Amino acid sequence: MGEHVAPTTPAKKKRSNIFWNIVGVVGELLITFAIIVGLFSVWQLYWTTYEVAGQVSQTIASYEEEHQPSKRALGEVRTDDPPAFDREVGDGEVYGLVHVPTWDWMKIPLAEGITSYVLDQGWAGHYDMTTQPGGVGNFSIAGHRRTYGNNFRWIDRLTQGDKVVVEVDDHYLVYSMVSSEIIDATDPTQMRVVAPVIDDVSWSETPTERWMTMTTCHPEYGNWQRYIVHLKFESWTPKDTGVPAELVDEPTN
């Protein structure tokens, strides 16, 4: 007796069609979702940086034009106490520049506050509860890593001894990289990294040294951790004498 195929009943055909229709709809939804996620990633990682690039360049140019050093040659290198930062700055106000020579001579506007308004302009934001540039304590700033300017994208390339220069109206401050750490974004003690005395969870210790801390998201394409860099004050240079050694070869705009 030969093999034969049992005829499919109309009910079975109907159930089969419904199943494959559902599979088709789910597949289309997944494809649509993937396209949306892809477009969002392109917007977040690339378009936002393109959007702010011109504005960032103009902000830097305006600040430099208003607060030029007397010359672009080596100025006086001083290791005594830098001038006290004694002027008021408003939320969102740009009041300096952050220079990172090892990041292909990157310059980043420095503004007051760490709100999305500040960071989404492509600026570095000052934690307003920390000391100002050059002050005793822990001058701390935050920046985006992989969106709106990619300011701190290369933070993990900073190595011990690398310099970061903070420019304010009438002088430059040179900080030297000492250490880095990675912490969980949900760590309840994470604010210790910007405490006046680094790692003082209570924020009660009295600082005696001048430090700087940079914070950003980690990993580069994520935000469930924070990458932290600590730097120590090394020297300062009055603008009326020139620029610090670290900026002598900095390209001009």
- Using only the alpha carbons of the chain, give its radius of gyration: 26
Active site residue 4: no
The verdict on whether 217 is a catalytic residue reads yes
**Residues 99, 126, 171, 217: which is the catalytic one?**
217
Spell out the CATH class of 54-247: mainly beta
Q: How confident is the model at residue 14 (pLDDT cuts 50, 70, 90)?
A: low
Q: Is the pLDDT of residue 8 over 60?
A: no
Q: Which of 144, 171, 218, 230 is catalytic?
A: 144
Query: What percentage of the chain exceeds 90 in pLDDT?
Result: 74
> Looking at the predicted structure, is the pLDDT value of residue 93 above 80?
yes
Are 139 and 85 spatial neighbours (Cβ–Cβ below 8 Å)? no
Q: Are 206 and 197 in contact (CB under 8 A)?
A: yes
Phi, psi of 95 (to 5 degrees): -135, 20
As a whole number of angstroms, the distance between CA 213 and CA 197 comes to 11
Cα–Cα distance, 189 to 196 (Å, whole number): 14
pLDDT of residue 34: 53
Computed over every residue of the chain, the mean pLDDT equals 88
In 3-state terms, what secondary structure has residue 173? strand
- Model pTM? 0.82
Q: What is the band of 126 on the pLDDT scale with cuts at 50, 70, 90?
A: very high
pLDDT at 20 over 90: no
Give yes or no for residue 46 having a pLDDT over 60. no
Write out pLDDT tens, residues 164-204.
Answer: 999 999 999 999 999 999 999 999 999 999 999 999 999 99
112 in Cβ contact with 88 (< 8 Å)? no
pLDDT classification of 98: cutoffs 50, 70, 90:
very high
- What burial class does residue 34 get, using C-beta atoms within 10 Å of its C-beta: 0-12 exposed, 13-18 middle, 19+ buried? exposed
Q: Pairing relation of β-strands 124-126 and 106-112?
A: parallel
